[in-house]
Structure 1
């Protein structure tokens, strides 16, 4: 998802400049002298719809992103990793800064993909968050490993599948940001 999509998704939390409460983007903040906002994370929306199996389990920690150019592998950030970044900005456990931290934590709890089973007829969705990708990566693959689709009587997976999704993105070189980043 682009930062603009995430800012629209959390519109009320993305308008306070450097103090925006949106945990996935910098909101409407721009670095001094720049006309665009750099990405904070690489975010994917994942939706699992189970209409075929009694139970399906996708473990968000078993998802990896691999770049095609250098073969670099990126693991997803969990809720604790993201909250550590924000926890360093609060001076204490009271006041406005702590209130902003609490709201970011609540948004992450509500919106990140949960590590839970998806039973027949259910749909589960959420975000998978990776570190911001370097600008030299324009092709990458997201691997979903060991998606459990059949279980034994002890609820242990007996059949798993691996899924791979390829993505391409436009990479802009030099000081010219992508056109959709520039807001006039």
Structure 2
């Protein structure tokens, strides 16, 4: 069986030369180097073995964990990849109540792992939008430059930059344990 190439024919299975031979000399003698065939080019080189990897020192690593219990600045955590609870410290700049809140919500914490040191909790992670948002602080300040709107269903309180305050609701109740004082230049009922 013959295979056509460059206007000629060649026996199937024979090697195809990539170099053009000199008209009067064999291919190996004309160029001074051995003839390169298509089979040589397409042959897969022997894979060199990969060098063995040396064990790297752990250094510092970060992992996520779940808080099992908390007492003061110490916590028992479940680190991903470890069996059973692990004792950990809470970093000095992290408020233990933030970690307790994360435990109550089921949120993960970020743990720093260093060789020869106990695990250190450095942050609480929030990965989902909360169903209930609980703010607790000595002072809570909410500021808006133009307008502040608090809305729930069909009730709303709107405070505008110019001092207008609007309270809208299906039923509005106000009560005072002491003096209930309404002051205005003009009071209008209905």
| Structure-1-length-normalised TM-score | 0.19
- Point out the structure with max Rg over C-alpha: 2
Higher relative contact order (CA 8 A, sep 6+): 1
| Structure-2-length-normalised TM-score | 0.18
